[in-house]
Amino acid sequence: MLEAISKDGELGILYRIKRAELLKRQVTLAVKPRHPLTVVAVRDLNRNPLAGAQVYLMTFYDPGSGGGKVTKTDSNGEAVISEVYEGGFYYPQAIHEGFYYQNNRIALLPKVGSKEWRDRIELFMEPANRTQRGRVVDELGRPVKGIEVVTDSRPEKKAVTNADGEFVFDNLPYSGVRLRVDRGDSFGMAVADKYTVDVVIKLRKIVRK
């Protein structure tokens, strides 16, 4: 598989090439066309537009890149992200204070103008105003003090346990998030949602070979 990266860091070319072709030592790659993608109506669950939400895309091939395309929604909850490659796979992201968005992959199919082509999408964000309490314990059930607990939400949230191993998070989504603890030699994770009263994260030793 050959890849070519554009100056802005986004993957524009991705081809699987037969070994026989590679042996020729000369392969021609065609750049995919780029087109604007309009992310329309970042909304709450009641379909009300959310102004000022930060919107960006992560590429399927390089989730950490973001493609350098970051913008904010206007008063109508709309944002435009320009120059997206045809045929690419992207993970849209939306960040807004007090709300949470679970990202989904979007495929921009090869032919612009076809019925499958999507240049307008809707991102729905749920309220994030739930409080979650919990504890971190070691393998023997003893509280672990001063350890950091991290959520998988965007933006990421952090809390530090007190002397009793307890922690508190505010402004979490009702649908749930994963809470993780990584101490280097041990690791723990738990899922907490609106039905979870007090979550317990039990650390387990990491076995390294």
3-state SS, one letter per residue, for 46-90: CCCECCCCEEEEEECCCCCCHHHCEEECCCCCCEEEEEEECCCEE
133 in Cβ contact with 168 (< 8 Å): yes
Q: Are 34-125 and 130-205 the same fold in CATH?
A: yes
pLDDT above 90: percentage of residues in the chain: 33
Q: Any idea where the domains of the chain sit in the sequence?
A: 34-125, 130-205
Between these two residues, 130 and 26, which has the higher pLDDT value? 130
Choose which CATH entry (1.10.10.10, 3.90.550.10, 2.30.30.240, 2.60.40.1120) describes domain 34-125.
2.60.40.1120
22-36, 77-91, 114-128: which is most confident = 114-128
Query: What is the pTM assigned to this prediction?
Result: 0.64
Choose which CATH entry (2.102.10.10, 2.60.40.10, 3.20.20.120, 2.60.40.1120) describes domain 130-205.
2.60.40.1120
Give the model's confidence band at 1: pLDDT under 50 very low, under 70 low, under 90 confident, else very high.
very low
